[in-house]
């Protein structure tokens, strides 16, 4: 029976104006081991058996969906989550990591019968949108969009000097709730606002025009509504600016907030931790670099 180990990066999506389109993989990882077995599927966390019904497990669902589509016969699996550093429901792609990890594991077990496009298309079908799953597969920063049932994507170069600091709170924000608060229609000027910022964001990154980034991370589609679900978000973004960040945005649907810096990361983190310690909720502040590899099969 085949056994594979898979490492999957966290992701940050939207990145300001790029709603459901822009995403970037980060050096924060989950790792899973998946083994074919001749019995019912079992789920483990660090070799401790979980009481979770395997049919509700997103990794299992993704494995089964992949193999069903490829008409690959299976009985069950031993799924062991051996590393889980991506926090759940914090806007860092925890569900995408489960989906991409499950598909990658299934593909490896099947002898890599799926190509990159197949993996991305299936991951998007399961997740519903491509902004997290595509960078989780490819690594780096990616622009991705749906054309019919096919996903088109293009990678974006990220200047090495840019650093990303995540402010991760103790409270969660569900994706379902964060989508529910969004309006059904938008004014034309708000659409133009986001189109212009998205276009300039890609150009400013390409040209290392860091002085334009704060303008580029502006958004009128999701952040004005979602920030109300994240306590003290305005104050934290204000403090980020005071401490020298070149831009800020809500990571995915929240609750994580992201600051972008071009230096002085250690000083920023120290001062930000002191500021956040005064708030009612607990916050973790970590520096995250872009992951350029995407999902990896270890064996």
Cis peptide before 255 (omega within 30 of 0): yes
CA distance 164 to 266: 12
Mark the binding-site residues for ATP, compressed into ranges: 87-97
What the block records as the tokens of 69 is 């589509």
Helix (H, G, I), strand (E, B) or coil at 273: helix
What the block records as the tokens of 54 is 């395997």
The string of DSSP codes covering 248-273 is: EEE-TTSS-EEEEESS-HHHHHHHHH
Q: Using DSSP bridges, classify how beta strands 296-297 and 3-13 pair: parallel, antiparallel or unpaired.
A: antiparallel
The string of DSSP codes covering 13-36 is: E-TTT-TTTEEEEEEEEEEEEEEE
CA distance 26 to 11: 6
What the block records as the tokens of 38 is 């001749």
What the block records as the tokens of 41 is 């599927």
| 244 φ/ψ angles, rounded to the nearest 5 degrees | 105, 10
| 280 φ/ψ angles, rounded to the nearest 5 degrees | -70, -35
CA distance 109 to 35: 8
Mark the binding-site residues, compressed into ranges: 87-97
Helix (H, G, I), strand (E, B) or coil at 123: helix
Per-residue 3-state assignment (H helix, E strand, C coil) for 176-222: HHHHHCCCCCCCHHHHHHHHHHHHHHHHHHHCCCHHHHHHHCCCCCC
| 115 φ/ψ angles, rounded to the nearest 5 degrees | -90, 180
């Amino acid at each position: 029976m085949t056994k594979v180990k898979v490492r999957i990066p966290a992701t940050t999506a939207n990145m300001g104006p790029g709603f459901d389109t822009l995403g970037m993989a980060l050096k924060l990882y989950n790792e899973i081991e998946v083994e074919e077995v001749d019995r019912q599927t079992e789920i483990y966390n660090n070799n401790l058996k979980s009481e979770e019904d395997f049919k509700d497990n997103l990794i299992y669902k993704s494995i089964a969906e992949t193999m069903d589509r490829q008409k690959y016969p299976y009985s069950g699996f031993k799924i062991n989550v051996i590393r889980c550093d991506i926090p759940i429901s914090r806007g860092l792609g925890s569900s995408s990591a489960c989906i991409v990890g499950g598909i990658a594991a299934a593909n490896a077990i099947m002898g890599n019968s799926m190509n990159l496009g197949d993996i991305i298309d299936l991951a998007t079908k399961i997740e519903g949108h491509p902004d997290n799953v595509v960078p989780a597969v490819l690594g780096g920063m990616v622009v991705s969009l749906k054309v019919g049932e096919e996903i088109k994507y293009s990678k974006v170069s990220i200047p090495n000097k840019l650093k990303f600091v995540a402010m991760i709170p103790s409270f969660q924000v569900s994706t379902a709730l964060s989508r529910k608060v969004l309006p059904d229609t938008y004014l034309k000027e708000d659409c133009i606002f986001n189109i212009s910022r998205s276009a300039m964001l890609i150009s400013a990154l390409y040209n290392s025009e860091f002085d334009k980034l704060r303008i580029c991370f502006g958004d009128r589609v999701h952040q004005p509504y979602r920030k109300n679900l994240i306590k003290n978000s305005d104050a934290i973004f204000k403090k980020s600016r005071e401490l020298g960040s070149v831009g800020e945005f809500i990571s995915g649907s929240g609750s994580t907030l992201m600051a972008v810096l071009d230096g002085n990361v250690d000083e920023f983190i120290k001062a930000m931790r002191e500021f956040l310690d005064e708030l009612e909720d607990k916050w973790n502040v970590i520096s995250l670099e872009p992951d350029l590899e995407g999902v990896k099969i270890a064996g």
